[in-house]
Chain A
Amino acid sequence: MASAAKNRFKQDEKRRDSDHVSFLKHRKFRWLWIALALSAATIAGYALIDQQPRPNGGTWYGYTLGTIGLALIVWLSLLGVRKRRINPGAWSLKAWTSAHVYLGCSLVVVGTLHTGFQIGWNVHTLAYVLMLLVIATGIYGVVVYATLPASLSANRREMTRAQMLEALTAIDRQLESAAQPLGRDEADLVIAALEQDTFHGGALARLTGRYPRCATARALRGMDSGSEAATRVTALLEKRRNQLAQIRGALRIRALLEVWLFVHIPLTIALIAALAAHVISVFYYW
């Protein structure tokens, strides 16, 4: 009895542990080993099999590599479908993600060998380049997912995103009343700072963290420090700027975390279209 209970405990522990294992380390790097084996096998085949008249996509080995590559690309792109299907079944989303990452990387080998290193300005190379871009953005995604969340949490300083916005609103209300004694020019500067959208700035500003048209910064530059009211407004504007800096820090990390998907996803769909054009055109002009 005791041993059965012990086993049960062990099993549960194992399950609990596996819940916290990264998709990269899933099942002791099972998919990494599969991907490495696939790459090694294709390289060995390329080196050993005599492809006449020269290695390219049209030899039997080339067709084999192309078929493997096409199947992999279609399957890996189905991760987008799989992750939206939350239903029971003997499939693990973590395993899918792990396979997606590692087999995706092995596609560099399979795809490159399929080209036979023949590159040109055509639909075939377009598909190849799109595949490389998708893989590159995917690798970027894995790297930022592994490194950036820590800095995202450090930037938050125990504040939720809603609290950050609330803090800004609180500062804005104080600014509004504190700015009452100011003259026209300075009041206009404060109005501009208050009216500017919290999320002002495009994707580039978010990614770089540079906001050259920030109205709060401009108001700070234009504020006279003569009167007591101006000093108070300046102090509040500085608080506003610091609060904005925290929000923008969060925006920057979030943008760095998310930007790859805006390339990865559309290019994946473009890649599937280019693959269709590649396969059909090759056999259309056989």
Chain B
Amino acid sequence: MTFLIRTIDFTAAGREIIRDRVLDQTSLTIGRAAENDIHLPDLAVEQRHVRIELAADGNLAVTALGTLGFGLDGRTVSEGAISLSTGGEIALGAARLAVAREGEAILVTIRQVATDEGAGDALRGFALASVLPNKRAMSWLLAAAILVLLLMVPVASHLLRTPVKNDPKGETPGQVVLDAAWTTGALSLKHRSLEDNCESCHVNAFESVTDTTCLSCHADTGDHAAMPRLAKGSPPLSPGDAIQWRIGTALGKEGPLGCVSCHSEHEGQVRTAAGGEAFCSDCHDKLDTRLTDTKLANAHDFGKAHPQFRPAYFASFGAAQPVRAAPGAKPVERSGLKFPHDVHMDARGGAARMAVSLSRYGQPLECKDCHSLQADKIGFKEVKMEDSCEGCHSLVSGRSAGGGFSKLRHGDVKDLAEDLARISSGPRAPVAPRRIRPGQSGTYRADFGRPVRAYIGLSNALSAGGICTECHLPTRGPTGQADLMPVNLPDRFLTSGFFSHDAHKKEKCTDCHAADTSKAASDLLIPDLKSCRDCHLGATAVKTKTIVPSDCAMCHAYHLPSGQWQPKGSAPHYKPPPVKTTVAAIAAKAKP
């Protein structure tokens, strides 16, 4: 077996020197000692380090002769095999011995390698950092992007904007750039137009939204009560809330009675909800313990604790103002009218027969023939004599010249007096053929009646048994002349709550108002608490077919004056239109 030993050295100038020698033997020894077949003058190599010989399987067996191993194809071993077909590389100190077959011989190429100073650097390639961007650079980049875009740009544009006093219409939107990223949620439906105009509410930096800002648009919102009374009537805050408010007010927030503490915004595109039962009962449950002088009774649950209704009514004839009934009292209403509801509602009575005979009714009278709802579906329009009563209670006084009827005017005694006087002096059938007086043009006419007749007619009409007293109460005026009681009816009976008649359409009127059995107008036909509780119990009641869990806001509003809160329709606390002057008001003014 032939070993071809090829040694490759370099001169100082870098020129390659190749020396070949042939050893014809069965095995090779390699080491530092001179007697080895391959002599490697390297202190890292043992005196007799490795033997190479042909193994039985045709491969070359490489064996360490001492305790120190050697490198074989990069791996440190103490014995190994080299396949002659592929060859192998033995590492001994700085020497690399490439072993391969060349023809019939086995070529061993020896070359020295410089110690790899870059090995440590090469190992860095194993770290993932070698192929990814620097963590620190990424961190700075991300943090800077966030701080600039989401903090500095909005703050800078807020500070540099031209402040406008108040801009609810959004005429100067987008002054603050990128502050949309600061929103904590969509604005409520009514405030949606302000979505791009944060600074219209958030006026000054680090200042909570102020009541002044809210009231700059909502100027007509009424207070629930004066602020000191609200504060006195409120229950003590929980310790957590107390601490929060102490810190908040110290930093300029407007306290728990400010607008925003109840009207929290950015809760999504929803209609501002009415306060729940707890919202009201927090204060009104034991209100008398805190507001000792309050006239309001405690209330916390409509089914369990709600004071009896106190409808407003006129307690004496011709009173200037209505009074509220004492709780549980049976009020006698002094409206100045005579009106037995039972007579009018009796389906077999005279009134019913009369109505059947009239084309505009055609059937017995119903409530709605006289009472029609107002637009808010809560109160009723004023009952007008001309529309509701006169169909039966006629004021026709004679035939008019045009073939129709003339009638007495209703509403003012002075008008009535004039009308009666005209009747008395009106054209009468001629007693003789027309004749012209000499020297005069036109028809001659003379009234030979007594001048006092008209006054007797008026006096008759106004006194007991007269036409007016069918419905009105006779009285005497300041100078003793015949007169009528002014008609006084309040515009609303239940003044502090809202009762939507529209929501109760399925009920019959007489289910709640005992009109069919009421014999006199002095009956106040406003239902009591008990009749409401047939269906309405507090918010915590279980809903069934007949029971409607009812929170306070179903009937009451917070901001006063206001309309009823409704899930649809006009704003929750719109100010109701001013009440039109009514007959009652005129009469009350005319006769103080």
Identity of the chain B residue whose Cβ is nearest the Cβ of A157 in the assembled complex: B75
Q: Is the interface of A mostly helix, strand, loop or mixed?
A: helix
> Are A286 and B184 closer than 8 Å at their CB atoms?
no
Q: A165-B123, A206-B128, A235-B85 are in contact. Are A122 and B98 (CB under 8 A)?
A: no
- Taking CB atoms, residues of chain A closer than 8 Å to B262 are 53
Chain A 66-96 interface residues, beta-carbon cutoff 8 Å to B? none
**Count of B interface residues, CB-CB < 8 Å:** 66
User: What's the least CB distance linking B44 to chain A, in Å?
Assistant: 15
Name the one of B74, B87, B135, B150 contacting A265, with C-beta atoms under 8 angstroms.
B135
Q: Mark B98-130, 1 if CB is under 8 A from A, else 0.
A: 101000000001000000000100110111111
Q: A165-B122, A169-B74, A255-B128 are in contact. Are A120 and B155 (CB under 8 A)?
A: no
Selected interface stretch from A16-24, A30-38, A213-221, A267-275: A267-275
- Taking CB atoms, residues of chain B closer than 8 Å to A276 are 147, 151
Q: Is A281 an interface residue (CB 8 A)?
A: yes
Q: Is A210 an interface residue (CB 8 A)?
A: no
> Are A174 and B87 closer than 8 Å at their CB atoms?
yes
User: What's the least CB distance linking A11 to chain B, in Å?
Assistant: 39
> Are B155 and A284 closer than 8 Å at their CB atoms?
yes
Q: Mark A163-188, 1 if CB is under 8 A from B, else 0.
A: 11111111101100110000000000
Distance A210 CA – B74 CA, assembled complex (angstroms)? 25
- Taking CB atoms, residues of chain B closer than 8 Å to A235 are 83, 85-86
> Are B73 and A266 closer than 8 Å at their CB atoms?
no
> Are B240 and A267 closer than 8 Å at their CB atoms?
no
User: What's the least CB distance linking A74 to chain B, in Å?
Assistant: 14
Distance A201 CA – B551 CA, assembled complex (angstroms)? 69
Identity of the chain B residue whose Cβ is nearest the Cβ of A254 in the assembled complex: B126
Q: Mark B124-164, 1 if CB is under 8 A from A, else 0.
A: 01111111100100111111101100110011001000000
> Are B244 and A63 closer than 8 Å at their CB atoms?
yes
Q: Is B185 an interface residue (CB 8 A)?
A: yes
Selected interface stretch from B206-214, B222-230, B377-385, B424-432: B206-214
Distance A267 CA – B209 CA, assembled complex (angstroms)? 33
Binding site for A on B (CB under 8 A): 71, 73-76, 83, 85-89, 91, 96, 98, 100, 109, 119, 122-123, 125-132, 135, 138-144, 146-147, 150-151, 154-155, 158, 179-186, 198, 202, 205-209, 238, 240-241, 243-244, 253, 262, 264, 267
Task: Taking A162-B119, A277-B151 as given, write out 19 further A-B residue pairs in contact, using a Cβ cutoff of 8 Å, ordered by the A residue number.
Answer: A50-B238, A53-B264, A120-B185, A121-B181, A122-B182, A126-B181, A162-B123, A163-B74, A165-B123, A170-B91, A170-B96, A173-B98, A174-B88, A174-B98, A254-B127, A270-B142, A274-B150, A277-B147, A285-B198
Binding site for B on A (CB under 8 A): 49-50, 53-54, 56-61, 63-64, 118, 120-124, 126, 159, 161-171, 173-174, 177-178, 198-199, 201-203, 206, 231-232, 235-236, 239, 243, 250-251, 254-255, 258-259, 261-262, 265-270, 272-274, 276-277, 280-286
